[in-house]
Amino acid sequence: MQATKSRPALRWLIPAAATVLVIGGGAAVGTFAASADPSLPPRSAAQLLVDLQTARLDGLSGTVVQTSDLGLPSLPNLGGGSGSADVMSLITGDNTLRVWYSGPDKARVALMGTLGETDMIRNGSDVWLWESKANKATHSKLSGTEAGQQHTLPNGVPSTPQEAADQALAAIDPTTEVTTSGTARVAGRDAYELVLRPRDTASLVGQVRIAIDATEHVPLRFEVLAKDSDKAAFEVAFTQVDFDRPDDQQFEFNPPPGAKVEESTELSAEQKAQQAEKAHNDGDLTTVGEGWTMVAVSKAGGAPASPEEEDATGLLKALPEVSGAWGKGHLLTGTVFSVLVTDDGRILAGLVSPERLYEVAATKAGK
């Protein structure tokens, strides 16, 4: 103190030091959490795959953060911003979800908005969808055949690293190179990293990385990286996870008084399958190619029927127009996928560059 009394300017060293401490401290915590590679006994990719398939999960609770940087044009109509608890918002921006899991028939996923929440609660054969903003609860009952299935948020976007990893692993085939890139730390836990790489370089996907918990063998992080990029285009990761079985109370849902309660007339699994088949035949959905460079071709055609479809047409007009030997249309490009909508009503989509879509569009299979 004596020095600061005789030379007052020295006192400014204290706020300066505080600033350095705060900024440096924050940065140090960030890099430490990100880069500290735990030393774990080596495990091969094949062993990790077996681990994943044999993992028995009793229960967990945690926070999942999902980030998408798909390089989509930021159209105002494309769902809400980062703050809304809208299910549509899952496809754009960042989202935080809280998950609780206690066996296959007890699960809860809560999508957090700034001051709102959308909950999907599965308890036995009861499924509730709760939307706080609308003050609405939707109930549906699962029939016997569906009772064993996992339930996801209604738009099919994976809400946990587990779901995302399941979808990716189902797609493993000879076109995929499976390796391991060592270890990582996710949500304060040690993990192994499994890397899936498309053998076909025409795909826009560079690699898919799955971090697997070293002791529980559960996916903790799932990342999709575009080719020539080290930043994830899509990521679902736990920021906090606890493998204790959550309290049963967490899966009980009683619609609060005053809320709108709807009984969902959701179709049973068989009806859904039939309908999907019908749509397949009607819409003429075909695929060209295999594995990572597969292109889906759909001939939707016809005039827009519902208001939503008209909205979609409006959105379409905002996309850049492209043309070639195959005709004319609009193109949507992201970092890991492209969609081409031609003026004659065809939709081509795939994890490939636009050039590949043009190629397919010009061939007989794409017509």
Q: Which is nearer to other proteins, 71 or 327 (CB)?
A: 71
Q: Which is nearer to other proteins, 129 or 168 (CB)?
A: 129
Q: Which of 52, 60, 87, 93 binds other proteins (CB under 8 A)?
A: 93
Q: Which of 6, 15, 148, 170 binds other proteins (CB under 8 A)?
A: 15
- Phi/psi of residue 100, nearest 5 degrees: -130, 140
Q: From the centroid of its chain, how far is CA 32? A: 26
How distant, in Å, are the alpha carbons of 16, 63, 138 from that of 106? 52, 17, 17
How distant, in Å, are the alpha carbons of 86, 260, 271 from that of 265? 21, 16, 12
- Phi/psi of residue 298, nearest 5 degrees: -125, 140
Q: Which of 60, 99, 107, 130 binds other proteins (CB under 8 A)?
A: 130
Q: Which is nearer to other proteins, 17 or 276 (CB)?
A: 17
Q: Which is nearer to other proteins, 116 or 327 (CB)?
A: 116
CA dihedral (45, 48, 54, 60) positive or negative: negative
Q: What is the full DSSP assignment across 171-199?
A: T-STTEEEEEEEEEEETTEEEEEEEEEES
How distant, in Å, are the alpha carbons of 209, 255, 318 from that of 160? 14, 25, 32
Site stretch for other proteins (CB under 8 A), options 19-27, 40-48, 198-206, 285-293: 19-27
Cβ-proximal residues to 56 (8 Å cutoff; 6+ apart), any chain: none
Give the three-state DSSP class for 364: coil
> According to the binding rule CB under 8 A, does residue 6 interact with other proteins?
no
Asked if 86 and 72 touch (Cβ cutoff 8 Å), the reply is no
Asked if 337 and 70 touch (Cβ cutoff 8 Å), the reply is yes
Q: Which is nearer to other proteins, 12 or 32 (CB)?
A: 12
Site stretch for other proteins (CB under 8 A), options 12-20, 199-207, 282-290, 355-363: 12-20
Q: Which of 59, 116, 291, 324 binds other proteins (CB under 8 A)?
A: 116
Q: Which is nearer to other proteins, 15 or 302 (CB)?
A: 15
Tell me, what amino acid is at 153?
Answer: L
Q: Which is nearer to other proteins, 203 or 250 (CB)?
A: 250
> According to the binding rule CB under 8 A, does residue 253 interact with other proteins?
yes
Q: Which of 40, 45, 132, 266 binds other proteins (CB under 8 A)?
A: 132
Length of the chain: 367
Q: Least separation, in Å, of the C-beta of 301 and other proteins?
A: 36
> According to the binding rule CB under 8 A, does residue 12 interact with other proteins?
yes
How many residues touch other proteins under the rule CB under 8 A: the total is 42
Q: Least separation, in Å, of the C-beta of 342 and other proteins?
A: 32
Q: Which of 103, 104, 256, 345 binds other proteins (CB under 8 A)?
A: 256
CA dihedral (253, 254, 256, 258) positive or negative: positive
164/212 Cα distance (integer angstroms): 12
Which residues, numbered 28-87, are part of the site for other proteins (CB under 8 A)? Answer: 63, 74, 81-82
Site stretch for other proteins (CB under 8 A), options 45-53, 129-137, 200-208, 215-223: 129-137
Binding site for other proteins (CB under 8 A): 8-9, 11-12, 14-15, 18-19, 21-22, 26, 63, 74, 81-82, 93-94, 98, 110, 112, 114-117, 119, 128, 130, 132-135, 137, 239-240, 250, 253-259
